[in-house]
Structure 1
C-alpha cells in the first residue's frame, strides 16, 4: 500500500515512510492510494469474530508487506487489549465507551498502535526519532504513555497553557524518562501550527521528526476498528445506524468515514462540535473559514482549523453535495452541553463527560428529523478526566483511579515556550 500527499498526489511513499515522515515534504497529509471495500461475507460473520481478528482484517490492506503477518498480529493484539463496550442510554440510543485504555481516552488505540510500529521499524538500528506532538488534552497523555521507554524515541508534547484539565496535564508532565512537555502560551491551533512548521524546517532535518497526532497514518487508521466493533453489537437492531462523533481535529470521525468506504453499513455520520464551528459553517455556506479558537468545557475539541477534515473531503472527491449525503455537522454551546449532562444523569444515572455530551447532542438533533434510526454517540474520555466540570454540573462525586491519583501527586515538569523560535531552539538542543 502506498500513500500520496494531499498537496501533491505525485509524491508517494510506503506505509513505513508515511509513519516516519508524518506529512509530505510539501506539508500535505498522507492518504491511502487505494480503498478496496471488504467482502460482504466479512460483515455477515462479524459476530463470530473477536476484536483483534476484525482489526487485523481491516488494517492489513493498509500496511501491505511493511510488517510481517505475525508482527502485525502481535501489534494489534497489544493495541486492542481492552474493552470497547456499547452501553444503552435511552430507547434506540447507545454510547460506545472508548475510555477503557491506560490513559482513559480513545487516543490510546492510535498511540499504542503507532508506538509499536515505530519500535519495530527501529528494532535493528540506532536511529533516533523525535515524536513531536500537539495536544488539546488527551492526545498528549496517550502518546506519552504509549511511547514511554520506547528505544531510540524521544517524545516532545506541546500543549496550550491553562487550557487542559489538571488530570490531562498530569498525564503529560509527570512521566519523565523520554517524555518532555512544552507549555505553549497560546491555543491548540498555535501548538499545531508550530508542529507543522517544524516538519518543514530544513534546519531540523537531522532530528528525524515525526508526529503522533492523528495527521500520522499510524495514529489515524487504527481508529477505524472500533466502529466495526460497535456495528458488530448493533447490527441486528433493524434500523439504520447513525453515529455522532464529538469532533475537534476530525481524525476520529474521518477514520469512521473511511470505515464506511470499506463497506461498513453506517448510514450517516454526525460531527458534533463545540463553539469552534468551522465545519458546521462550511456545510452551511461552502466557505472554509477558521476563526480564533474559543475555549470551552470540552477542551479537547477546542480546534478551529481541524487538520483531518481534508481527508474527509478527499474521501468524497471534494464534492460537498456528495459529502452532505453521509455527513452532517452541528455546533453546541457550553450551556447546551451542561444541560445535556444534567438531563442524562437525572434520567438514567449515566455520567457523560463534556465531549460525549456534545456527541449526544449531535445525535439528538439528527433524531428530531429521523426518529426511526438507531443512534450511537462516542464517549471519548472518562468523565474523571474532567473532574471539576462533571462535579460542578452534576453535584456528584467521582472516584479518581489510584493510578491517576499517584500521577497527580508527582511534581510537574514542563518548559514554557512562547513562539516557534523557542521550540526550534529546544529541539536543536
Structure 2
C-alpha cells in the first residue's frame, strides 16, 4: 500500500470507491493518454467517467481557463456573467427545446436534483416515474429515484418513485420479445402503472443507462412512452449526463433516437461539456423553468472559469466534428470488440453506440453475472496499458468503454488489442 493510499484511507469515507488492488494516482494527461505517479503511460478509455470528452490537456480549453482566471475567477449568479450567457445561448439552441431556459449547476447530480424540483413544483406532485436499473446521482433526491440497488444506499426519500420496464433490452420479462413487441409490452406496463396511482410529476430516464452498464431500449420506446405521458400531462426528463454531446455518434443527444416524440420537457447535462471542469445544467421550456415562486441563486453554478472552458470545449467539439468521429471510430471499435467477444465464453453481450460501449461478462455457460471476472479484466487491462471502467445492474459485471471523442483509428485498434489480451488472460 502506497503512502498516498494510506493517507486516503485515513481521511476518506469507507464508501468512496477506488479502482484496482493498488489504486492509481494519475498525475498528467495529453490527448487520449494519461500517466501515473510511477511514470507509466496508459491509453485512457474511460475519460474520468465519460468526462474528458475531447482530449486531456486540450490547448484551446487550457488557454480559455487560464485567460479567464487571469481576469476574474468568481462572481456568482447575482451579477451578469458574459461567458455564462454565451454558453447558455448555445446550449439552448442545441437542445431543441423551444423557448428554452438554461440553469447551470456544478454536477450531473445537482442538475437532476434541480430537474426534480422543477417537475414536482410544476406538477404539484411528488411522484416520479423512473426506469429500472437507472442511475441519476448521489444526492438524497437522486438516490431515491435510482433504480440500481448498488447505488441507492437508503430507502428514505422525499419522493414516491415508481419504476417502469424498458431500460434493459436483453434481460427481464420482455427480453425474448421482438423490438416492436418489447415496446408495446413496456407501454402496456406504463399504462397499467398509471391506472393504479395518482398523477406523477415526471418520467426521468437515461436514453442509454450509464452506470447500469450502457444498456438501452429499442429506438422509439420513449416516443411511445411520450404519447402516454402527454395524455396525462406528465413531464419527460431526459438525463443526458452521459449520453449528451454526440458521444453516441448517431445523435447529439440520446433523446434524438426517439425523435418522433420531439424534445423532452426537461433535459439535464454535465460531464463532457466541461472536459473535466465542473459543469452541469438543466434546460427546460420557459413555462417549466419559471414555475418556481421563490428566490434562488447559484454560488458556483455558471462560474466564469468553467463557462469559459465549456465554450472553448464546445467550439472545438463542433468545429472538429467529434460526433462524426465518435460514429466512425466508435463503429470500428465496437466491431473489433465484438470480434474479440465472439471468441470469449465469458462475454454475454457487446453493446453500445459511438464511443459508449459495454461488454457484459458472465460465468461461462450461464447468464449469471460475473463481477470477479470484470474486476480481473480491469486489472489486466491496466497491466497492458489501458484504463477502462465497469458498471452494471445488480453487480459490476459490465466493462465500460468510453474514450475521449477525438480517439484515432490507431488508438482504437491498440485499445482493442489490449482488451483482447486482458479478456484472454483474466477469463
TM over 0.5: no
Asked which structure has the greater CA Rg, the reply is 2
TM-score (norm 1): 0.34
TM-score (norm 2): 0.34
More helix by share: 1
